[in-house]
Structure 1
Amino acid sequence: MFVVSFAGVLLAAVVSAHPSERVVTATQWAALNSSIGGRLHVGIPLARPCFTLADTAGNINATECAAVRQGWTNNLFLVEQFGAYMNTQWGSCQATAQTCLIDGLNVSDPTPSDPPNVCEQGSVPPYYIDVRDASDVRKAFAFSEINGVPLVVKNTGHDYKGRSSAPGSLALWTHNLQSLSYNESFVPVGCSASHAKPGVTMGAGSIFNDIVAFAEENNITVMTGAESTAGASGGWVMGGGHGALANTLGLGVDRVLQFKIVTPTGLYLTANECQNTDLFWALRGGGGGTFGVVLESTTLASPKLTLQVAFAAFSRTNTNATRGFYEVVVNNSVRWAEQGFGGYIEPFQALYVTPKLNSTESSATMQPLFDYVTSLAPTDPGVEILSLELPSYGTFYQTFIANAGAPVGENAVIASRLIPAANFGDADGRAALVDALIQTLAHVTFDMTLIATTPYNVPDDGSTSVTPAWRTAIWHVVAEGGWDGAMPVADEQAAYTGISGAANYLRAITPDAAYQNEADVHEPNHEVSFWGTNYPRLLQIKQKYDPDNLLECWHCVGYDPLSPRFSCYV
């Protein structure tokens, strides 16, 4: 990990949300650093060691540059680097084209980092605190209040909407809070013994890879998402948190038993069903980086599960087969959802998993999928069919999920929709859905994923703040586009506009609902789309726990799109 400590370098003393706002002196930064035990560091763009010319701290360094080039598309490397973002545009200032990037498609190419190209700070926070305890966060909030420095919360760098970066900001880096423990009879603080449930308590920086391994060691199941280096206690869960087993186990927010959080008013609070219940409700779907800084969470642990897995694929280049493939999955998806299947459907393959059926039942119900893909075999050498039983979620995760996450080291733009069961209700509705999928796919520049990870069999009991549309949805569909390296601002704007336009085919036939963590940066009517009727209450809770709006992020509850901290968006 490349770290420049505060003591070793001095950036410009002016670090503020806007040039017209207050000036922060070097003495004030030094005082903050001293008060937190030297854990204030200078934020440096990941590719800085590769550049001869730079307007940032740091120096050219051949050894460090080689490590950056080797790790540029490796999420396990990126998650350890403060200056790295899984989708690289969020370390850039897109509106001004200030950036510090190498070529993600040809990492050995020196051209992007050679003169006259200059490494610029972009949206990488120029300072960050390596958070280790509540005191670090309290002091950051006080510093921001006094000096007008905008704050962001950064965990693993998995962020499709730029919520963990901002120009001229101070970041709270929670990555190193990685404790894990299991209690067979976890009782939330302030609750009676009758509330005891098996729970895994995890630091904010704990990632899915480590959590799944820990669960296997303890013979339990912990629900996770599909990005192996995403953090389970951060934006993933606070935004909802879907995963392959969400159909039967619920979203991440359904399973949280407790949060420990530092609020912008400086309070270190425990939020659960017995105390600070309004905050607990808000954190269960209201979004990360909004109501405070979560230091740890406890999630429900389930017994070890035997899983049935179905996989079918044909050649990616066999695009003529996609419509027929979509017709099969659309015609069967409600039944499969009722049988507990979750999974991921690409235009050329489908992966399904359920804990509710035995192997015979699983193979029988998946037969229409297997039959269709098998029918392609005479002309398609890429056909593959798989039906198997696995002894645990950890085995499933390592076999199908751990190495199959979204690409990193490139700029990504996405848009999403929740597709309700009503769209599958009759022949006309299913035909319209297939048409919309084909039209959307034709207008994406990367890919489209039909994500069957909705909590279809977990009713809405009012205990979470995600949009109720999750409970009636069969799919969460993500349209994906992007670009590599630096591009003219107009071209970047076109990429965002293009992916939003692609999603319009699905918007036209579905209610106003999308997943906030994986949504269009310019999602129209985002308050309703992300939270439905829950938004007014969320706003009240936001104003209670963050009255001065110290935590503000794009499309988060109570955000102001005209705030200077969003000046790098296009």
Structure 2
Amino acid sequence: MAVSSSCRWLAASAATLIFLAPALAQDTSNTTITVQNTTVAVDASTLAPAAVTVSNTTTGDGTPLTAAETVQLTDEVIANLTDIALANASLFAFDDGDASTLDKRSGSCKVFPGDAAWPSTFVWWVFDLLLGGNLITTVPLAASCYNDFGDYSASECTSVDDNWTNSTIHMSDPTSVMWPLYQGRTCMPTSYATYENCTLGGYPSYVVNVSTVSQIQLAVNFARNANIRLVVKNTGHDFNGKSAGAGALSIWTHHLKDITVIPNYVSKNYTGQAVKMGAGVQAFEIYAAAKAGGFSVVGGEGRTVGVAGGFLAGGGHSPLSSLYGMAADQVLAIDVVTPDGRFVTATPELNTDLFWALRGGGGSTFGVVTSVTSKTKPKMQVTTAQFSFATSTNVTADIFWAGVRAYFNYFIDNTDAGTYAYFSVFTTGTDSYSFNMAPFWAPNLTLAETQTLLAPWFADLADLGISVSPVYGHYDNFYDAWWAVFPLETVGSTSLKTASRLFPKSNWANDTSLNATFSAIKSTVLAGGSLLAFNIAAAPAAGYPDNAVNPAWRETCLHAILALGFDGTANSTTVASSISVLTTDWMQQWRDVSPTAGAYMSEADISEPNFQQAFYGTNYARLYALKQQFDPKSLFYAPTGVGSEEWYITGQVDYLPTQDGRLCRV
């Protein structure tokens, strides 16, 4: 940000500064600020990054601080800002609990660019100095394809275009989300020819590229005190674009990569090996570390998913869930910056309500997680199987569906054996369909045991005249098996919308309820949907802790995702009309056969009716009360998050709720 080499300013309010050009600032009674490169001198004192390296070396649970956590914002640092006559130090101060600053009027909005209360360029410049130069002004990922941001580059545009569906390009960008529907489909690569301009849309205005806890604290305090919308991005994986937000300040935790193995973690409820992960650690990183250390970790299926971020906050289903439960069930401690700007540790003994809520109560709701300490699991053998079958001259559509229906008979037996399966059913033409198992995943099972488990279904298929040729793999560790059979995610689509349902084991209680369940799923595929599903359970025999994970997970044996394709180049009204079929017609058939069940919030329909029940179940009332306790000023907002029903985004279209408008109170 360019600022004159010498300038004067006057404090105008707690949310803005009046910046006076040097030629107009002749009153020597005003505070003089001299700008020299990347430091500012306020009168005779130098304004440096607002942080201190703390003397303590461990968090509240006794685990070592990560490198990021050793550098914090303290009351003494804030006091120093005031002492050197930075009148707007109040913008960066911790919350004093003054309820008079709450604005709960209907229609009141977060401050937006262009508003009189929006911080001046100079205030953002000072904020950047306090951050140590880690503030980024947002430039959309595909801006190189346009002239709007002044950085057109044909070669860079081609590179972005070629890699747009690759999740790695989005996770490595400060603001890009993996589902562009929610940032407003603006600034798309040139292969999406109908998009002719490049604007911020639903992207945040500024990003803090986090390397220290102090930077998170400064961002939290600044956003709260200036009444700016705040969003948090780790990798941007969420299906509903929760890390997008027009006019927002974003906290990017992607680079918090510390991994520390704790040989003997001791707490009230657990003694044994644990691992502490920075918030930016991704599945491929922790799994590689686990292989090297001779243990396993309950993490995500996707390669680039951030294990300690929104994945865990949403509960986190895993290829090991049928054995060990959800990722959130493994957590021993969470280090977090709370909405008041404080850095705290939450465990079963410390900040217990916060600890309960952070494990499954949703991301961007109760604070910004900096690290997570979780149980490790033993090194294990894994057997995998991949196969497919389809309609053909010998396999009619009726026979095909009979083969799929036969598979449903074994769901509970399979999950009781600790297995996990990722399968899909697609329409390939008129009365033509394909089933793909990619993969059947059998942790702790030998090749022979896996073949025995699959044998009854394969016999059923043979009796129907369906031939399968499974390709088996057997590995002596989790990482090698996982890397071999789970491909890199495909993202970036503007012509696909998904919704999901957690089907309970009770639907398998008898043929009547199971046939009704299967019929509802089959009907939506026949109508044009595509099924991607997981045969998975999350209620291990050894039990699971009390946390905020959706109770529906404890009853499920099928997490099913339904995808709807449409013309992604159409206008928002037309796209929304297409999407409404998914929400109100197809998914209603699934709800009708599982009325008391729910859905996995991280892979669900953003327009899910009664999301409070579907995503949180009986936990919602407690979560809502805790939201009011920990975040009374509603700093954190996320679509379908706890308390989000009290807010709306201006300019939204039903069934296509984007994040490219103001955030205002209902």
TM-score normalized by the length of structure 2: 0.76
In 2, distance between residues paired with 1:498 and 1:430? 24
CA distance in 2, matches of 1:515, 1:216: 29
Which one is further off, 342-351 or 478-487? 478-487
Matched, 1:405 2:489: yes
2:577 corresponds in structure 1 to: 494
**1:167-566 alignment runs, 5 A limit:** 167-187=246-266, 191=267, 195-315=270-390, 320=397, 321-347=399-425, 348-350=435-437, 351-373=439-461, 383-401=468-486, 403-445=487-529, 447-458=530-541, 461=544, 463-483=546-566, 485-500=568-583, 501-510=585-594, 511-560=596-645, 562-564=647-649
- Stretch moving more, 134-143 or 408-417: 408-417
One-letter identity of the residue aligned with 2:189? I
Q: What is the DSSP-based 3-state SS (H/G/I as helix, E as strand, rest coil) of the residue aligned with 1:247?
A: helix
Equivalent AA in structure 2 for residue 231 of structure 1? G
- For residues 169 and 443 of structure 2, what CA distance do their matches in structure 1 show? 33
What's the offset of the Cα at 1:203?
Answer: 1.2
Amino acid at match of 2:239: Y
Matches within 5 A, 1:153-168: 153-168=232-247
Aligned to 2:176: 84
Per-residue deviation, 1:464: 1.2
Q: Deviations 1:377-401 (Å, cap 9, x if unpaired)?
A: 78x7xx4313443211112101111
The letter for the 1-side match of 2:187 is C
AA of the residue aligned to 2:628: Q
Rounded Cα–Cα distance in structure 2 between residues aligned with 1:126 and 1:224: 32
Query: What residue identity is the alignment partner of 2:341?
Result: G
The share of aligned pairs that are identical, in percent, is 28
1:474–1:7 CA distance, 2 compared to 1 (3 A): farther
**Residue 120 (1) aligns with residue 120 (2):** no
Deviation for aligned residue 1:62: 2.4
Tell me, yes or no, if the aligned pair for 1:86 and 1:410 is still in contact at 8 Å: no
Residues 160 and 412, structure 1, Cα contact 8 Å, conserved in 2: no
Aligned to 1:130: 209
CA shift in 2, pair 1:561/1:63, >3 Å: farther
- Answer yes or no: is 1:71 the counterpart of 2:163: yes
The C-alpha deviation readout for 1:150-205, integer Å capped at 9, x for no partner, is 00001101021121011111111111111112122134xxx46x843211211111
- Does the Cα contact within 8 Å between 1:443 and 1:498 map onto a contact in 2? no
The alpha-carbon distance between structure 1 residues 18 and 61, as it changes in their structure 2 partners (threshold 3 A), is: closer
Corresponding position of 1:3: none
- The one-letter code matched in structure 2 to 1:415 is A
Unaligned ranges ≥5, structure 1: 1-5
SS of residue paired to 2:410: helix
Cα separation, 1, equivalents of 2:518 and 2:645:
37
| Deviation of 1:356 (Å) | 4.8
Match of 2:92 in 1: none
Name the amino acid aligned to 2:273: P
Q: Would the aligned equivalents of 1:312 and 1:373 in 2 still touch at CA under 8 Å?
A: no
- 1:478 partner SS: strand
Is the 1:18–1:565 Cα contact (8 Å) retained in structure 2? no
Amino acid at match of 1:172: I
Q: Report the number of matched residues.
A: 537
The Cα of 1:77 is off from its aligned counterpart by: 2.2
Report the CA distance between 1:309 and its aligned residue. Answer: 2.5
What is the CA–CA distance in structure 1 between the aligned matches of 2:366 and 2:506, rounded to whole Å?
A: 34
User: Structure 2 counterpart of 1:69, which letter?
Assistant: D
Letter of the structure 2 residue corresponding to residue 252 of structure 1: A
Q: What is the identity, as a one-letter code, of the residue corresponding to 1:153? A: V
1:136-157: per-residue Cα shift (whole Å, max 9, x none)? 1111122112222100001101
TM alignment of 1:14-33, pairs within 5 A: 16-17=111-112, 22-33=117-128
Secondary structure in structure 2 of the residue aligned to 1:274 = coil
Mark the structure with the bigger radius of gyration: 2
What are the Cα deviations for residues 412-463 of structure 1, in whole angstroms up to 9, with x where unaligned?
4211111111111111122112111101223454x21121233142576552
CA contact (8 A) 2:135 2:207 kept: yes
Give secondary structure in 2 for the equivalent of 1:366: helix
TM-score, length-scaled by structure 1: 0.88
Task: Give the Å deviation of 1:512.
Answer: 3.5
The amino acid that maps onto 2:183 is G
Aligned partners of 2:492, 2:475: CA distance in 1, in Å?
29
Q: Deviations for 1:341-378, whole angstroms, at most 9, x for unmatched residues?
A: 11212120223223354433321221133235556778
Looking at structure 2, the residues matched to 206 and 90 of structure 1 have their Cα atoms a distance apart, in angstroms, of 25
Unaligned runs of 5+ residues in structure 2 are 4-16, 18-109, 426-434, 659-666
1:250 to 1:58, Cα distance in 2 relative to 1, 3 A? farther
SS at match of 1:397: helix
Cα distance in 2 between the residues matched to 1:165 and 1:316 = 42
